[in-house]
Amino acid sequence: MDDWKPSPLIKPSGARKKRSWYLTWKYKLTNQRALRRFCQTGAVVFLLVTVIVNIKLILDTRRAISEANEDPEPEQDYDEVLGRLEPPRRRGSGPRRVLDVEVYSSRSKVYVAVDGTTVLEDEAREQGRGIHVIVLNQATGHVMAKRVFDTYSPHEDEAMVLFLNMVAPGRVLICTVKDEGSFHLKDTAKALLRSLGSQAGPALGWRDTWAFVGRKGGPVLGEKHSKSPALSSWGDPVLLKTDVPLSSAEEAECHWADTELNRRRRRFCSKVEGYGSVCSCKDPTPIEFSPDPLPDNKVLKVPVAVIAGNRPNYLYRMLRSLLSAQGVSPQMITVFIDGYYEEPMDVVALFGLRGIQHTPISIKNARVSQHYKASLTATFNLFPEAKFAVVLEEDLDIAVDFFSFLSQSIHLLEEDDSLYCISAWNDQGYEHTAEDPALLYRVETMPGLGWVLRRSLYKEELEPKWPTPEKLWDWDMWMRMPEQRRGRECIIPDVSRSYHFGIVGLNMNGYFHEAYFKKHKFNTVPGVQLRNVDSLKKEAYEVEVHRLLSEAEVLDHSKNPCEDSFLPDTEGHTYVAFIRMEKDDDFHHLDPACQVPPYLGPGCAWQPPGPMEIVSEEEPLPGGGGPGFPLLSEEATLSHPNFLGATPKGGGSPRSRRTDMRPPPGPCGAGPGSESNLFIDCPEGLENRPNLEGLDFFLGWNAALRVGLALTQETAVPNPWTGPTGAHMLTQTHSDTLRHWTRPPLSILFVQISKAG
Amino acid sequence: MSRINKNVVLALLTLTSSAFLLFQLYYYKHYLSTKNGAGLSKSKGSRIGFDSTQWRAVKKFIMLTSNQNVPVFLIDPLVLELINKNFEQVKNTSQGSISQCTFFCVPRDFTAFALQYHLWKNEEGWFRVAENMGFQCLKIESKDPRLDGIDSLSGTEIPLHYICKLATHAIHLVVFHERSGNYLWHGHLRLKEHIDRKFVPFRKLQFGRYPGAFDRPELQQVTLDGLEVLIPKDPMHFVEEVPHSRFIECRYKEARAFFQQYLDDNTVEAMAFRKSAKELLQLAAKTLNKLGVPFWLSSGTCLGWYRQCNIIPYSKDVDLGIFIRDYKSDIILAFQDAGLPLKHKFGKVEDSLELSFQGKDDVKLDIFFFYEETDHVWNGGTQAKTGKKFKYLFPKFTLCWTEFVDMKVRVPCETLEYIEANYGKTWKIPVKTWDWKRSPPNVQPNGIWPISEWDEVIQLY
């Protein structure tokens, strides 16, 4: 092919042969070319077809895939609209094996920084005195617990010992002193510090500064100490910088069997510290309790709202007792946490319960009351079919028969419109005044501390007019106001089914707790069968009250009620005394006398020779009978010149004053009394008081009294006129029936002596 | 040389491409056969019988739920329809032996079940058990809408959907939550970023495209294809609810912002009005539901819902809308029986019908009937004194469920358009004086009633 040369210059002479040659060639050539062309075209067409089929296939497949999964439109429907931000990555790559820890101790400031992050900083004045303790996870370096023990004050060192003993071995412990931490640091605590390997801790002196980092049960990683040169001055500030080697995660964790429960436990134990044996590797305490179910449980479907703040240890104790109560149904429990605190949420998760966090609104009492409102609304929203809700607080122990008690009594709330609530708490249920777990009363107040709320009451009455955030009212005081309570009463047991153990709180401190709550009786008997529950209905109850009144023996009103002999020393007998009441609230002269004014604290000023209680607010269970049958008392009424002027807001049961007890009763100095801490003053010149007119009475000293009932209840009224300080005016109302039965101005008091003091 | 090369190259190309083409054809055929598999096997449905993946998946799932006490019932519209058609068979098979797999063997991608969340106790354990049984499960969670209405609460997330796949068949478990107003609610199936979008053909799901609301169904136990399942007692009622079940939440956040700006009226009168308006609305809803007449919140009541999630205390009446096609002549009688006497009646069924009933405490119930045109909807108004007619125009809308004062009621899904038509762009600002003849931006004069008709079209009681 290559050597062929077309020759246009061929001469015509030899044209024929040459031409045919040429033609053949040409023919051959064209034929071949055509073939080639044909082949080429064919190939191109074929390729084109392939391409088209390819495209079609691709299109088809794409359509099919998008059809099968999602096309762009539903993608919009189904995709999370909010672009989720990637969680910020931890600095650096790979796990760090060493933490650098800085600890600072001085008179006015302490801080702890781990890897440059400040985990504790306290330079507030008049706060945070004592030994600050931080526990770090030895594998991750996370802060697991942060505590301060004011070891300048008594007993705090005991708490510290308790806490340090609960910390699992291997954890990193950091201690630092602010201001003063040695005054009440006793030998036990010092011995413990020595066992941790500390040199300076056991020798810590007055106003020394001290910083310590060590592994529990392991080596000390750093310690600095500076002695105070003189009584009046502090040690020099010390700054301890040290490296803490991290151990592997496996070492830090226990080897529990792989169950759902242990997974929860592991999550919990790797985050927080200070819950004792729950995180023990060998023999951890159970976190599931499976108490016996109740036969015919009427409160199985009643939601339980646990109102909580940032007291995770309390919450832990509370949930344990709640989940151990017979007839509890865990899926009905919701814990409402006021604030975005992690640790309470961890506790809730440990028990596998539902937890809801609430952004705090407002301050102090109003914050609590807004939290209550949100929690109650949420509870009824979450359980739209529930007619009732049980309201609990994080600092309550729950009796083993709590749900049994409610199951037996809840129908009353449904059937009797004159009821406001059922409460598990008896304000007057002291060790020596309450003894019959089968006995119920009606009271004209709202005791709270574990109670049942009716949906209709909340939705139709309370919720719409709940105090707004700017009103610094206590929700419970507000609920007790006559505008809310409207003469309705609550059912309570003689022996409380809840126990208030909280010592730290907005309205609570150690003294008050010891004075008021410690002596309260708490039922521990399971499966108590309540007696004559239906006689708690309004009509039946009135009949019983009348019967008791008519059988009671009138006390000798010519005697001074402060004398021992005023109340005969007998058992099982009902007495009645009368006081003159011109107005509904005339009783309240008595209250300041019977109780210690808040600003002084219990144990101050007037200490009578022995323990005694005024129990003035309950009604007996009809048909109760038997020895120790409670008596009725309307109210003990006494006044004392000192108090009348001193506090216009006092009165009622101590609980009603909680809000008044802002500062701890410091000036008093003396500790709480040994036996009981509610004391009655028997004022001089009693006889001269005008409004008792010879009907004066008083309850005898040394007689442990059971003053049964009172048809009156104090009601604390947030006083809008005195500003938002939470001041209260107290008014007292009477049971209607009793009022017309007794025809004011004469009121009555029933007193029964259950035993000699 | 180059020419030969070209040819060789061409030939080679042709060869490879034909090989490729063959491969593609084979693949395509394979693909087609799987795609048409559904259609193909449909005809052999009964023959496949109890070996089908569907039936096995459902059986395993039912075993799982009964072992783990998961309270589920069947809500699959297709199966419920089949049940409805073959109800006799359902009854018969419950005693006798089963010869044929009718319900769970129709090949499809999903079978839908509902989970009654409030009856559920063992939430943690079952997921693992399901996975051990061979299910691949996907859990879709979200925040709890029941807490939305309350200031600043944030809870743990609640499960909304579970999708559990066994081989090619998936069980869609829709979590039904109880809401205030005695109804069941399910959430929106929203895929988070990390979720595999090809896990199942999500687009074919029957539930979850929108949140939904359903009446709480009564349940009954039946035996379908040898499997004991709970189904709604009235399966058709449930199936009919499905297409209209879309639910929208109230705009709680905006409502809170509104109250921050304008403060809520908490006077005794306002509370009393709200209470009686709520009672009236409840009574009206009960009456209309009994008649089977769908209605929605209209005018001021709708504005109250949309703007502040509550009844506007100064609105003085409750307004409802009903499509004229749903009009029933016994509405008036039913309301009278419910203790709501007719106060006035304007217009007639053919034109501008409006009914007013007198509730307790001077609260009035207004029912406007809506007339549908091709591109808009309107309702009429009549001035009693002059006989003048007015027309209020609205863009077309569909109806959605919502929750309002502890009730499940309907509102226009396109609420904003509806409200803006009625109240203009400034609907956010509270206005206490409102002239129904002049204030609405969508009002049009619509002539006058002939005097001869006045007796019929203007009735005052």
pLDDT tens profile B220-236: 888 888 888 899 999 99
pLDDT at A561 over 60: yes
Confidence band of A170 (pLDDT split at 50, 70, 90) = confident
Average pLDDT over residues A397-419: 93
Written as one string, the DSSP assignment of A172-208 is EEEEEEES---TT--HHHHHHHHHTT-SSGGG--TT-
Confidence band of B97 (pLDDT split at 50, 70, 90) = low
pLDDT at A249 over 80: no
Of residues A666 and A309, more confidently modeled: A309
Q: How far B117 CA lies from chain A's nearest CA (Å)?
A: 10
d(CA B10, CA A157): 95
Contacts of B180 in chain A (CB under 8 A): 380-381, 384
Model pLDDT, residue A66: 59
Confidence band of B115 (pLDDT split at 50, 70, 90) = very high
Q: What percent of chain B has pLDDT over 90?
A: 38
d(CA A190, CA B76): 70
CA A546 to chain centroid, in Å, comes to 42
pLDDT at A87 over 80: no
Instruction: Say whether the ipTM exceeds 0.95.
Output: no
**Inter-chain residue contact B203 with A358, CB threshold 8 Å:** no
Contact B156, A356 (CB under 8 A): yes
Put simply, whether A45 touches B (Cβ < 8 Å) is no
Place of tokens 């029912």: B367
Model pLDDT, residue A515: 64
d(CA A536, CA A620): 10
Model pLDDT, residue A95: 54
Those residues whose C-beta lies under 8 Å from the C-beta of residue A108, and which sit 6 or more positions away, are A123, A125, A178, A179
d(CA A671, CA A669): 6
pLDDT at B129 over 80: yes
d(CA B206, CA B76): 8
d(CA B200, CA A69): 7
Those residues whose C-beta lies under 8 Å from the C-beta of residue A570, and which sit 6 or more positions away, are A753
pLDDT at A605 over 50: no
Phi first, then psi: give them for residue A522, nearest 5 degrees. Answer: -135, 125
Mutate to test the interface with B, among A307, A382, A383 (most CBs of B within 10 A): A382
Confidence band of A315 (pLDDT split at 50, 70, 90) = very high
Q: Residues 207-266, chain A: which have Cβ within 8 Å of B?
A: 260
Flag the least confident range among A152-161, A191-200, B18-27, B212-221.
B18-27
**Inter-chain residue contact A381 with B180, CB threshold 8 Å:** yes
Confidence band of A211 (pLDDT split at 50, 70, 90) = very high
Flag the least confident range among A437-451, A453-467, A626-640, B364-378.
A626-640
Model pLDDT, residue B50: 65
pLDDT at A215 over 80: yes
pLDDT at B156 over 80: no
pLDDT at B296 over 50: yes
Model-level pTM?
0.71
Model pLDDT, residue A365: 82
Mutate to test the interface with A, among B140, B156, B249 (most CBs of A within 10 A): B156
pLDDT at B165 over 70: yes
Nearest to B7 among A36, A64, A67 (CB): A36
Most confident segment among A55-64, A393-402, B26-35, B87-96: A393-402
Model pLDDT, residue A711: 31
**Inter-chain residue contact A385 with B118, CB threshold 8 Å:** yes
| Nearest residue in chain B measured CA to CA from A353 | B156
pLDDT at A280 over 80: yes
| Nearest residue in chain B measured CA to CA from A259 | B125
Model pLDDT, residue A250: 73
| Nearest residue in chain B measured CA to CA from A354 | B156
Of residues B344 and A689, more confidently modeled: B344
pLDDT tens sequence across B363-375: 999 999 999 999 9
Rounded to the nearest 5 degrees, what angle is found at the Cα of B51, between the Cα atoms of B45 and B54?
Answer: 70
Model pLDDT, residue A708: 32
Written as one string, the DSSP assignment of B257-300 is HHHHHH----SHHHHHHHHHHHHHHHHHHHHHHHHT---EE-HH
Q: Residues 367-406, chain A: which have Cβ within 8 Å of B?
A: 370, 374, 377-378, 380-385
Residues of A marked active site are found at 395, 476
Of residues A715 and A62, more confidently modeled: A62
d(CA B242, CA B214): 8
Model pLDDT, residue B247: 95
Place of tokens 């020394």: A208
**Inter-chain residue contact B144 with A61, CB threshold 8 Å:** no
* Residue from B130, B242, B123, B253 nearest B186 by CA: B242
Report the SS3 class of residue A445. coil
Phi first, then psi: give them for residue A447, nearest 5 degrees. Answer: -65, -30
- Cβ count near A172 (within 10 Å): 27
Flag the least confident range among A261-275, A351-365, B6-20, B161-175.
B6-20
Average pLDDT over residues B74-80: 91
| Nearest residue in chain A measured CA to CA from B405 | A459
Q: Which amino acid is at A130?
A: G
Put simply, whether B266 touches A (Cβ < 8 Å) is yes
Q: Residues 293-332, chain B: which have Cβ within 8 Å of A?
A: none
Number of H helices, E strands in chain B: 14, 21
Put simply, whether A461 touches B (Cβ < 8 Å) is no
Average pLDDT over residues B207-214: 93
Flag the least confident range among A294-303, A731-740, B91-100.
A731-740
| Nearest residue in chain B measured CA to CA from A348 | B156
Q: Which amino acid is at A260?
A: E
Model pLDDT, residue A399: 93
Mean of per-residue pLDDT scores for chain A:
72
Of residues B248 and A156, more confidently modeled: B248
d(CA B346, CA B456): 8
Nearest to A80 among B144, B191, B208 (CB): B191
Residue A657 is given by DSSP the state G
pLDDT at B304 over 50: yes
Contacts of A260 in chain B (CB under 8 A): 124-125, 128
Contact A318, A396 (CB under 8 A): yes
Average pLDDT over residues A415-430: 91
Number of H helices, E strands in chain A: 19, 25
Mutate to test the interface with A, among B203, B269, B274 (most CBs of A within 10 A): B203
Model pLDDT, residue B461: 81
Confidence band of B347 (pLDDT split at 50, 70, 90) = very high
- In angstroms, how far apart are the furthest CA atoms of chain B? 108
pLDDT at A429 over 90: no
pLDDT at A600 over 50: no
- What number of C-beta contacts closer than 8 Å exist between A and B? 145
Put simply, whether B190 touches A (Cβ < 8 Å) is yes
Put simply, whether A357 touches B (Cβ < 8 Å) is yes
Confidence band of A687 (pLDDT split at 50, 70, 90) = very low
Confidence band of B102 (pLDDT split at 50, 70, 90) = confident
Model pLDDT, residue A755: 34
Mutate to test the interface with A, among B151, B165, B207 (most CBs of A within 10 A): B151
**Inter-chain residue contact A356 with B14, CB threshold 8 Å:** no
pLDDT tens sequence across B411-424: 999 999 999 999 99
Report the SS3 class of residue B16. helix
pLDDT at A638 over 80: no
A236 half-sphere exposure, CB direction, 13 A CA radius: 6
Confidence band of A20 (pLDDT split at 50, 70, 90) = low
Model pLDDT, residue B457: 87
Model pLDDT, residue B157: 83
pLDDT tens sequence across A22-37: 666 666 666 777 777 8
Of residues B155 and A298, more confidently modeled: A298
